[in-house]
A and B are shown apart, each in its own frame.
Chain A
């Protein structure tokens, strides 16, 4: 067992840290307050190669392993999860899904520009009435010979407006249940697509979350991913990897909050000494550290399994569940340590607390992770 990171992994972590601490930090509070899309930062993500970092070099990506991706996600999420979620969707869901399951023509046409960061992707699974139960897709894709005719509505779509390439999950044969689901690559500028208004969210307010409506959208037959009926498996397999990214995001939110709590507790004095020297604060920091280290180890194990091409669905569920839960706990305690300052926007931790909440909800709620974990053990 080797707990050391490679030279490249350290360099990637440091590059992500420099990007976050020098560039994202500058306007993160304003973008959150005004719900402004981080246009210039997404351009930088592309320039630095983070948007396609896990895609292999063959398809113009960075060819980095999952551990490197986890390290980068943590550093960026310490500062701004609105940006890291864009990176996560592109890497874990869209690019990985295409590289693993799309055919060569599809990879050439769609994956390469995504991996280069020239285009942004979005993953369209959730619906107004199909969230955790992904088998209840109401979006229909009717086979019309040369093309599928797509109708329906997708909800809570990260990159909903900024994306160029959608991966859409839809029913083609509702009578076949989850075996009647397919995944399609859809150009966002295809006629019949309407993007709903920007969701006014509690946290991660700088990422663009929208509903997307499909009204008689023609999707070429060659844009279906995999064999007929492969869509549900495609979505579930892809979400397994997505969980690692969101777990790393939750880890970054927690460790970012702890770093701020530590710095503040050394500076702030009460009753004649820094509050860090009061046991009640010091023990909170100790509890934070244990939780964060546990989360990190779970996540790195899941990432390592993925890199070893071993099954990682169970490990990623453990990691995502635990990291999201402790992100909520740690950020709440960080706000407590910063007291009144922690409750103001200037000190970041209240924003981290709002961001943490979403990690318990999206890409599989904590309860869904509990189902995955318990079913694995109890079957």
Chain B
């Protein structure tokens, strides 16, 4: 059994986002990390493999990105992934990323494909579902837990007011969210040493055309400063006369 984890390489979550003329994200000085949801997905995939008594044989990570992404991809290898695939092109939109990944892995027989629910940069929230559609396999969204026992994957989905448990047969795509793993795995020294020795296969782009184009970026308006009030009477006054909420 083989698991594929799709990883985006995104700016560190503490990055001060800037744009060049509102048209282009300014990458100067940016630290790049594995998208946090993908990192949790990879962590859970590794846990499943370790607990599977050899039934899950391999964890592969895939990224659509230029050569600069390789340092971050190798972190995934250091965490414990067995191999990596980098699709040699720049991510353009959700559809083109899903298309590139589907084309690159369609004949590789992955049983489960993990995708983070969204990337923390463009927040497209669509790659996982689109891969399932393109490959014509099942898709389970908003997965907050997954277990593997007796050759069956048991999947937990958060729903309004509770959660549901599903049994899913491979192959399928799981679009995972927070809760899938407690904390992202920290690579150990041995993993870091091994990372360079593991395969990082570069495949050429299938030239999947995007369906959308980014036209303009705008920064959100700065939040107004916090106003501290001393007592309840003043709070009522502020809410009534300044915020016009009462």
| A residues adjacent to B (C-beta < 8 A) | 7-8, 10-12, 14-15, 18-19, 22, 47-50, 52-53, 57, 62-64
* B183 adjacent to A11 (CB under 8 Å): no
Q: Nearest Cβ distance between residue B86 and chain A, in whole angstroms?
A: 15
> Which among A48, A62, A63 is the interface contact of B186 at CB below 8 angstroms?
A48
Task: Please tell me which one of the listed residues B71, B74, B184, B189 contacts residue A49 in the complex, with CB atoms under 8 A apart.
Answer: B189
When the two chains form their complex, are residues B188 and A8 in contact, meaning their CB atoms are under 8 A apart?
Answer: no
Interface centre among B71, B75, B193 (most CB of A within 10 A): B193
Q: Which residues of A contact B78 (CB under 8 A)?
A: 11
Selected contact of B192 from candidates A15, A19, A47, A52, CB within 8 Å: A15
> Residues of B within 8 Å of A, CB-based: how many?
15
20 contacts between A and B (CB under 8 A): A7-B74, A7-B196, A8-B193, A8-B195, A8-B196, A11-B75, A11-B192, A12-B192, A15-B187, A15-B189, A18-B184, A18-B186, A22-B186, A48-B186, A48-B188, A53-B189, A57-B193, A62-B192, A62-B193, A64-B189
Q: Are B74 and A11 closer than 8 Å at their CB atoms?
A: yes
Given contacts A8-B196, A22-B183, A57-B193, contact A49 B188 (CB under 8 A): yes
Whether B190 is near chain A, meaning CB under 8 Å from some CB there, is yes
Q: How many A-B residue pairs have CB under 8 A?
A: 45
Shortest CB-to-CB span from A232 to chain B, Å, is 32
Which chain B residues (63-88) contact chain A, with CB distance < 8 Å? 71, 74-75, 78
Query: A54's closest neighbor in chain B, by CB?
Result: B189
- By a CB distance below 8 angstroms, the chain A residues around B195 are 8, 11
Nearest-neighbor residue (CB-CB) of B192 within chain A: A11
Interface centre among B74, B184, B187, B192 (most CB of A within 10 A): B192
Partner among A7, A10, A18, A62 whose Cβ is within 8 Å of the Cβ of B189 = A62
Name the contact of A48 in the complex, choosing from B74, B183, B189 (C-beta under 8 A).
B189
Q: Interface code B78-118, partner A: CB below 8 Å = 1, 0 otherwise?
A: 10000000000000000000000000000000000000000
When distances are taken between beta carbons in the complex, the residues of chain B under 8 Å from A53 are 189
